[in-house]
Amino acid sequence: MPTIKKTRKTPDWTDQHKKKYDWLYNWMSLNYDNIDKNTFIDDNKRDLLTIIEKNENWGNSSKQSLLFMISRYLDIKNNKDRYIKLYAQAAYDLKKEMESNEKTNQLDDKEIKNHRSIEYLNNCLELHKQKMDNNLNEHYKHLLLFMLIKQPPLRTSFYSSAKFLRLLTSNNKTDNYVYITRKGKLKIYYIVNHDKASNYKTFAMDKQLSKIQLHDEELIKFINESFNKYPRTYLFEINNKNVSDSTLLNWLRDITKTPLINFDMIRSAYVTYYYEHNKTYDKREDLANKMRHSVDTASKNYLKITNLEEMTQDERIKNFAISLERSEPHYQWLLKKGFYELAALSDVLAYHNRKALAWLKRRKSYILLAVNEALEDDKAAFDFLMRNKGEVWAAAIQVCNGSDKAEAWLMKYNFPHFVFLGQVLGNMEPPTRNSWFGWFDSYSSSSDYSSDWGDFGGGSFGGGGSEGSY
């Protein structure tokens, strides 16, 4: 009996694969020469694995999907290619690593660098208020962050697609809406007719879950005023068209001064904050319904254990900055964690406390004493910071004085928390402190106070140089 020859079924090349292929091509063409869209994977398959794995700007999820996409592409082209298994195994290893992190609720490398607490985001919102006046883009940034931290945040697609709705009878059951009603008291609801969760069993069976009431009175008022001041069809609209997901992401990164933050990180921060204050299952289930996922998903994917000791610099500078606004909990945090010099400087800057200044002198905390003096336009003190690994502090002072170059330099070397500090310092009352008797004048008589913030240092001082000891 003749043997029937089995024919191999060609693996599917889905729209999702195409999207990842195009995304990777666009990135490659921006960063490398001679990239051909039709052959760039074949041409670079020896190097792409290393390029993807070493890219610090991409999260593990993005890397995994790219690696699986390349494996599928190579399998379709030539199923004998030895690189198929290489890329598939690398993707699988990442998948297992992600699953392990989810089970222990740990942050991945990208999240460690870009995770921001709800407290930090609230302060970003406060600091941004003054930028909104008659500037539509700044207004939108404020509205976006307001909606993300004062109400359980939804996925990006809702905010980019939602339209304003005034009459429930106009709900076409297809579009997403922000429904404003004035029947009795002003109320606002999100109406989610279509999103990733629409076909999940829980949300498909209970359509009432698609209508989510907002409860924060300040947010309700702001959304209503936004619609009245800028009448429009879409929640976020430019030139009569809704904005893209990427535009919203850029706005989010700008207002938070965090170059690689994303919407998932905001959702994670919200869940983590909420779980700290709400321990019962019914409360957590209510949150899950409002965020349109399950309690299990929230617990595995969004709840994060943020070890403050491992995120020391970021957290201590943020807490120090907020303590300057005379926030007692943040001041006490500095003391509890043992950052006594920063607590003392907070007393000096916020309350003009001479005893705290004298204590810093006895401790010979030269960097922080120089910060105090440089804020009073002492050029010698500023020069001392520049010469003694206090560049990040010097840059924060320049941000306080309105320097875009200093801000760009801090962002380039991943010091957004010092940008935040500079903004807080810029909003403080002019200082009325005593100087340190001109000690820095004797240290150096020359100073380039208006540094051009070029590539000096290269971030090589490892997280703020001498600041690391505080």
Structure confidence by residue, pLDDT tens digits, 216-268? 999 999 999 999 999 999 999 999 999 999 899 999 999 988 888 889 889 98
Q: Does domain 118-302 have CATH number 2.60.40?
A: no
- What's the whole-number mean pLDDT along residues 138-162? 96
Can you give the length of the chain in residues?
470
Residue 189 in this model has a pLDDT that exceeds 60: yes
pLDDT tens readout for residues 114-148: 778 887 888 788 888 878 878 999 999 999 999 99
Global pTM exceeds 0.85: no
Which CB contacts under 8 angstroms, 24+ apart, belong to 89-93? Answer: 90/49, 90/53, 91/64, 91/65, 91/67
pLDDT band at 310 (very low <50, low <70, confident <90, very high): very low
> Crossing angle for the helix pair 281-291 and 263-277, nearest 10 degrees?
160
In the chain, domain spans: 15-104, 118-302, 312-469
Residue 116 vs residue 158, higher pLDDT? 158
Q: How confident is the model at residue 15 (pLDDT cuts 50, 70, 90)?
A: confident
Average pLDDT, the chain: 83
**Does residue 309 carry a pLDDT above 90?**
no
**Model confidence over 345-358: pLDDT tens digits?**
999 999 889 899 99
Predicted confidence at residue 456, as pLDDT, reads 33
Is residue 366 scored above 50 in pLDDT?
yes
The pLDDT score that the predictor gives to residue 102 is 56
- The answer, yes or no, to whether residue 461 has pLDDT greater than 70, is no
Please determine, for residue 434, whether its predicted confidence score (pLDDT) is greater than 50: no
Span of 113-127, 190-204, 456-470 with lowest mean pLDDT: 456-470
The per-residue DSSP string of 151-215 comes to S----HHHHHH-EEES-GGG--SSS-EEEEE-SSS-EEEEE-SSSTTTTSHHHHH-GGGGEEE--
